[in-house]
């Protein structure tokens, strides 16, 4: 049974921890507002650009002149997985949910006889995947020194992907990230970016109403690299908002748990102190009666 001094020290330690988790919760809440605004502001542009490229892709169809980023290599032997996680922990299951989805995809591809290559964005994802898939790593993007995620960061990742694709290093590229829904809900998402894959939009026949100058193929050849960068940028922004939301929720739970632990330790401390006082009184009374 711990002594009164041990209990008192432990209560003080938990109180200090609670102060830290409360401060981290408030910092995450402040960062979340900005990150959420950035993620939500980027969605309309990304959706509209996706719709434009989807219409152009439907017009081009399966023609031989279709850009390589749209048509692909004609094979799906080698897959590039871009796993985007945080540089820091203490954000609940945020990193684990992304890695779990990526690990399941990698295992599925390997079981099907495919070649898997992995690019990690964020230290936590690399640490979790290192044990099982270290031999599949081809690159790592360190964003620990970046104070604010910008389009330049996404563009450098997109350029690297397109460069590797042009040099025949892979056939299909998929990015993994968490899509922000709310503070307590982040959706692990896998999105294919190379070759470009668009959801079938309703009313695609309306594309015939437009005459493009230059041709659809030339416009797509210019838009597709930007589209890859836009998708990567959107994923980074969604990840940033999801990370802060997850951290805020995790630190709130940690603060509550610390409070509950303090209450339990305080009750245990009071009971132990009362028992010690009672024993001292019994000893005094017993000694007095013996005289």
User: What total of structural domains would you count in the chain?
Assistant: 1
Query: Domain of 105?
Result: 39-250
- CATH number where 115 lies: 3.40.1380.10
| Rounded Cα distance, 195 and 15, in Å | 53
For residue 286, is it within any domain? no
| pLDDT-based confidence at residue 206 (cuts at 50, 70, 90) | very low
Q: By the 8 A CB rule, do 156 and 143 touch? A: no
Q: How far is CA 221 from CA 57, 123, 215, 246, in A?
A: 11, 33, 10, 38
Q: To the nearest whole percent, how much of the chain has pLDDT over 90?
A: 44
pLDDT at residue 83, as a whole number: 93
For residue 285, is it within any domain? no
For residue 142, is it within any domain? yes
Selecting among 24, 66, 91, 251, the annotated active-site residue is 91
pLDDT, one tens digit per residue, over 60-104 is 766 666 778 887 888 889 999 999 999 888 888 899 999 999 999
Kindly state the greatest CA–CA separation across the chain.
Answer: 114
DSSP character string of 169-187: S-SEEEEEEEEEEETTEEE
For residue 11, is it within any domain? no
pLDDT above 80: residue 213: no
pLDDT at residue 56, as a whole number: 77
pLDDT, one tens digit per residue, over 11-32 is 999 999 999 999 999 999 999 9
SS3 228: helix
SS3 122: coil
For residue 257, is it within any domain? no
91 flagged as catalytic: yes
For residue 15, is it within any domain? no
pLDDT, one tens digit per residue, over 139-154 is 999 888 888 888 888 9
| Rounded Cα distance, 272 and 3, in Å | 8
Find, among 273, 258, 257, 277, the residue nearest to 8 by Cα. 273
For residue 19, is it within any domain? no
For residue 3, is it within any domain? no
pTM score of the predicted model: 0.82
């Amino acid at each position: 049974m711990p002594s009164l001094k041990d209990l008192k020290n432990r209560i003080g330690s938990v109180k200090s921890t609670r102060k830290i988790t409360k401060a981290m919760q408030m910092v995450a809440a402040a960062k979340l507002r900005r990150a959420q605004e950035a993620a939500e502001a980027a969605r309309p542009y990304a959706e509209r650009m996706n719709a434009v490229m989807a219409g152009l892709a439907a017009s081009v169809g399966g023609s031989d002149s279709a850009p390589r980023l749209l048509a692909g290599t004609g094979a799906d032997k080698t897959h590039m997985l871009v796993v985007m996680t945080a540089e820091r922990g203490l954000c609940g299951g945020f990193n684990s949910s992304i890695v779990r989805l990526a690990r399941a995809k990698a295992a599925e591809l390997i079981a099907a006889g495919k070649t898997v290559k992995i690019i990690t964005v964020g230290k936590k994802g690399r640490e979790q995947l290192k044990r099982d898939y270290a031999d599949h790593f081809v690159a790592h993007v360190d964003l620990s020194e970046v104070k604010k995620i910008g389009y330049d960061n996404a563009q450098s990742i997109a350029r690297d992907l397109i460069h590797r694709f042009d040099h025949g290093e892979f056939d299909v590229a998929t990015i993994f990230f968490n899509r922000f829904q709310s503070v307590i809900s982040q959706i692990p998402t896998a999105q294919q970016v190379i070759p470009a894959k668009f959801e079938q939009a309703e009313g695609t026949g309306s594309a015939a109403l437009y005459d493009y100058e230059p041709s659809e193929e030339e416009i797509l050849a210019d838009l597709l690299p930007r589209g890859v960068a836009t998708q990567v940028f959107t994923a980074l922004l969604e990840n940033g908002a999801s990370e802060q939301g997850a951290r805020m929720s995790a630190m709130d739970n940690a603060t509550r748990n610390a409070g509950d632990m303090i209450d339990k330790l305080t009750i245990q401390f009071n009971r132990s102190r009362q028992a010690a006082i009672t024993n001292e009184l019994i000893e005094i009374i017993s000694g007095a009666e013996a005289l």
